[in-house]
Chains A and B, each alone.
Chain A
Amino acid sequence: MTETRRSTTKMVPFPSRSIVPERDLDKQPILETNHLGIEFGGLKAVQDFSITVGRTEIAGLIGPNGAGKTTVFNLLTKVYQPTTGMVLLDGVDTAGKTTVEASKMGIARTFQNIRLFGNMTVEDNVRIGLHNQISYNMFSGIFRLPGYWKQEKRQHEKTMELLSIFDMQDLADVKASNLPYGAQRRLEIVRALATEPKLLLLDEPAAGMNPHETEELMDNIIRIRDQFQIAVLLIEHDMKLVMGICEGICVLNFGQIIAKGTAEEIQANPVVIEAYLGKQKEAEA
């Protein structure tokens, strides 16, 4: 099954250190980072981070704990401002942009530790994602003018449509904190999709899921990519998921990229094996 998932993609070198799927080659890459880096008081958390993600690529970012993977996500979403290098989102430089502007430019993410609005319903959580797609003013909101109802209806339909990706329509009125763990992770993805991103960042989407749920998640990520025609960049420790669906994989260790390539290349790369398992000699000894 794993093989069929990946067999359609051929990865080709992109004119700058990276590879993108062949189908995305003639289009503007959705994400390009150049020598991106950040220091926290002298500690170089991430340095010289350069990757390219194709328009409809599913890319993976892996590495041991503390390698700086989530820091990369925080740099891409402008939670941190980089100390060096640049991020091009759909060809536009994001230097000096705020988190909100990055979101409007088409980047959305989920979190390693789930950060839903727990006291709000499932539907309201998705609607927060729709925040910038609604346009009625406060007065028609309070006094329920016709414009409000029209928008309200459209939003409700949009919310249900998004929830239907994971068959969650029935849960619309449930308080988000009362959802089971797996459903909370799925809701985070739906909420991120509501912002109409071009690039979806998933921070350990399979964490805490059982093998069956992970299988489903893999299919769903591919389906989301196909349906919305967006790129996905994901951080994950579950190698079955990463090797199963990621077309291009980037390995981070101590804040630096140690390898880039397809799943086969990464699996065969001695530097990667060393980073994960320690030196061969020590292992034998």
Chain B
Amino acid sequence: MVIFLSHLVNGVSLGSVYAIIALGYSMVYGIAKMLNFAHGDVIMVGAYVCYSAIQYWGLPPFVGILLSMVVCTLLGMLIEFGAYRPLRQATSLAVLITAIGVSYLLQNVALLIWGANPKVFSSVVGFGSLTLFNGELKITSEALITIVVSVLIMVGLTLFTGKTRMGKAMRAVSEDRGAAELMGINVNRTISMTFAIGSALAAIAGVLLCSSYPALMPTTGSMPGIKAFTAAVFGGIGSIPGAMLGGILLGIIEILGKAYISTELGDALVFAVLIIILLFKPSGLLGRPEREKV
């Protein structure tokens, strides 16, 4: 029972990271109607920047996180401006291929700068772990912090989209870009803002992920990126609570699958879930079904 609880906490923690990444996927999809497959690699860049700040420049972890958020925000806006904005009128397939191209570009630039050898990322969380049940259940501080941070992000984003002017503009653009434009909403600026927020979240996700799983390589971001995409589809792409729910459920499924079924099949299980969900509920758990107009 205690072991199960421990797996569950680890699952929720991993799932929280997926959830934060999935939020980025989902927001960008909701507003720009595109799948930004380079999102996972922004996570990797975020982790590398934080790593460099701490290891090479000797900055305190907190400053490292802030720096990586700033770098990723700018990177996200740059990617949107340079790669996706010129394709605003292009077919979605062209945008998709471009996104995959940007993903490889980021991986290879990281390879040039930081090399292929895995870096050992030292955790940014300073305090020890929480012990319960007379030392039988140990919850790492990384897991706790990850869960808390993701809840804070969720609450913050909900307030942002629900209450602020920019957030409302985002919802308007996601519902009807043309009508929003005619109401005087600058669509390009709104999309740019979405990429900025998504990428800042990706930086946080990268730091949290590498604090729990310390091996940092140029391909570190791709697998969590794809799983977070799965989570976003699972929860209903375009929906913020959906991304959160999907991420956490997927994390739990992955960890429990690895623990009780097969270590090798853990990843396969995650994608099997995606296939099953798409078969029975194509719009995801919390997604709105697309109604055909007759």
Q: A: which residues have CB within 8 A of B?
A: 77, 79, 98-100, 103-104, 108-109, 111, 115-120, 124, 127-129, 131-132, 134, 136, 138, 141-142, 191-192, 194-195
Q: Say whether, besides A117-B171, A119-B171, A131 and B183 are in contact (CB < 8 Å).
A: yes
**Complex: chain B residue closest to A120, CB-CB:** B171
Q: How far is the CB of A39 from the nearest CB of chain B, in Å? A: 18
**B181 touching A100, Cβ below 8 Å:** yes
Inter-chain contact B164/A119, CB cutoff 8 Å: no
* CB-based contact B156/A115 at 8 Å: no
Contact B181 A99 (CB under 8 A): yes
**Residue from B165, B167, B172, B187 in contact with A117 in the complex, judged by beta carbons closer than 8 Å:** B172
- In the assembled complex, the Cα of A193 lies from the Cα of B167 at a distance in Å of 21
Is B166 part of the binding interface, using a Cβ–Cβ cutoff of 8 Å?
Answer: yes
Q: Which B residues between 155 and 188 are near A, CB-CB below 8 angstroms?
A: 156, 159-160, 163-169, 171-172, 175-176, 178-187
23 A-B pairs (CB sep. < 8 Å)? A100-B181, A103-B181, A103-B183, A103-B184, A108-B182, A108-B183, A115-B179, A117-B172, A120-B168, A120-B171, A124-B171, A127-B168, A128-B168, A128-B183, A131-B165, A131-B169, A132-B184, A141-B165, A142-B159, A142-B163, A142-B164, A195-B183, A195-B184
Cα A265 to Cα B106 in complex, Å, equals 68
Distance between Cα atoms of A118 and B171 in the complex (Å): 10
Contacting pair A138 B166 (CB below 8 A): yes
For window 81-106 of chain B, which residues contact chain A by CB distance below 8 Å? Answer: none
Minimum C-beta distance from A153 to chain B (A)? 14
**What A residues does B178 contact at CB under 8 A?**
79, 115
Looking across the interface, which residue of chain A has its beta carbon closest to that of B171? Answer: A120
- Cβ contact within 8 Å between B185 and A117: no
C-alpha spacing A131/B159, complex, angstroms: 18
Q: Tell me the dominant secondary structure on chain B's binding face.
A: helix
How far apart are the CA atoms of A136 and B165 in the complex, in Å?
8
Residue of A nearest to B164 (CB): A141
Smallest CB separation, B218 vs chain A (Å): 33
Q: Which residue of A lies closest to B166 (CB)?
A: A138
- Name which residue of chain A comes closest to B160, CB basis: A142
> For A98, what are the chain B residues with a Cβ–Cβ distance below 8 Å?
181
Q: How far is the CB of B198 from chain A (nearest CB, A)?
A: 15
B20 vs chain A, min Cβ distance (A): 18
Min Cβ gap B89→A in Å is 13
- Given A141-B164, A142-B156, CB of A129 within 8 Å of CB of B183: yes
Which of B135-168 touch A at CB < 8 Å? 156, 159-160, 163-168
Q: State the CA gap A57–B156 with chains docked (Å).
A: 47
User: What residue in chain A is nearest B180 (Cβ atoms)?
Assistant: A128
Pair A99/B159 contact, Cβ less than 8 Å: no
Which residues does chain B contribute within 8 Å of A131, judged by CB atoms? 165, 168-169, 183-185
**Given that A100-B181, A128-B183, A141-B165 are known contacts, is A118 also in contact with B175, CB under 8 Å in the complex?**
yes
**Cα distance A196–B98 when bound, in Å?**
40
B182-A103 in contact (CB<8A):
yes
Give the chain B neighbours of A115 by CB distance below 8 A.
176, 178-179
Roughly how many angstroms separate A109 CA and B178 CA in the complex, as a whole number? 12
Establish whether residues A117 and B184, one from each chain, have CB atoms under 8 Å apart when the complex forms.
no
Inter-chain contacts of B180 with A (CB < 8 A): 117, 128
Q: How far is the CB of A192 from chain B (nearest CB, A)?
A: 8
Contact indicator B175/A141 (Cβ below 8 Å): no
A103–B182 Cα distance when bound, in Å, is 6
Give the complex CA separation of A116 and B182 in angstroms: 12
Q: Collect the chain B residues with CB atoms within 8 Å of residue A195's CB.
A: 183-184
Given contacts A117-B171, A117-B175, A128-B168, contact A79 B183 (CB under 8 A): no
Q: How far is the CA of A108 from the CA of B191 in the complex (A)?
A: 22
CB atoms of A77 and B185 under 8 A apart: no
CA distance A104 to B183 in the complex (A): 9
Residues of B within 8 A of A141 (CB): 160, 163-167
Find chain B residues with CB under 8 A from A100 CB: 181, 184-187
* Cβ–Cβ < 8 Å partners of A142 in chain B: 156, 159-160, 163-164
User: How many whole Å from A106's CB to the nearest CB in chain B?
Assistant: 10
Which residue of chain B has its CB nearest to the CB of A105? B184
User: A128 near B172 (CB under 8 angstroms)?
Assistant: yes
> Out of B160, B175, B181, B187, which one reaches A120, CB within 8 Å?
B175
Smallest CB-CB separation from B193: which chain A residue? A138
Residues of B within 8 A of A129 (CB): 183-184
A115 to chain B, nearest CB (A): 4
A109 to B179 Cα, complex, angstroms: 9
